């Protein structure tokens, strides 16, 4: 719950922590999985891997939307049939290299948000 005396920065951090707690409740791999750090800087991106489940989590504190490119092999996604889907979304993002197979996936990171992508083998 927000406090009227909190600064905007404190409220933003509180909101990010709340989102992270909800994601951890929803996906066991985020609580118990092995962490693979992917990107630091304006955004923080990491993967959690547990029991055959792969989740890529992005924290974007910027006012601008960003993208991150994930080396799929780094997180154990070695098939061209793998896709990633944002939590709560229905549209998937294929793992590709715009015409060949380099094993990367480009994921959107909305501004001032924490987002989790579930990555899995697509059913064809």
pLDDT tens digit string along 14-69?
777 888 788 888 877 788 888 899 988 889 999 999 888 899 999 998 889 999 98
Cα dihedral across residues 98, 104, 106, 107: positive or negative: positive
- CA dihedral of 33, 38, 53, 16, whole degrees rounded to 10: 70
Domain region containing 66: 8-121
| Structural domains counted in the chain | 1
For residue 1, being part of any structural domain is answered with: no
Residue pair 86/119 in contact by the 8 Å Cβ criterion? no
Whole-structure pTM over 0.85, yes or no? no
Confidence check: pLDDT of 76 > 60:
yes
Q: Classify residue 120 as exposed, middle or buried by CB count within 10 Å of its CB (0-12, 13-18, 19+).
A: middle
Decide which of 46 and 6 is more confident. 46
For residue 109, being part of any structural domain is answered with: yes
Decide which of 3 and 8 is more confident. 8
Can you give the CATH number for the domain in which 31 is found? 2.60.40.1180
Report the distance separating Cα 36 and Cα 57, nearest Å.
Answer: 10
């Amino acid at each position: 719950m927000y406090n009227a005396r909190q600064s905007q920065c404190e409220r933003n951090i509180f909101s990010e922590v709340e989102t992270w707690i909800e994601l951890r409740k929803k996906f066991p791999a985020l609580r118990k999985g092995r962490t693979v750090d992917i990107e630091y800087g304006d955004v923080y991106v990491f993967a959690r891997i547990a029991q055959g489940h792969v989740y890529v989590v992005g924290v974007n504190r910027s006012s601008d939307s960003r993208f991150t490119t994930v080396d799929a092999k780094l997180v154990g996604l070695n098939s061209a049939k793998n896709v990633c889907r944002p939590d709560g979304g229905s549209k998937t993002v294929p793992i590709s290299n715009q015409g060949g197979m380099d094993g990367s996936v480009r994921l959107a990171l909305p501004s001032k948000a924490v987002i989790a992508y579930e990555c899995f083998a697509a059913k064809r």
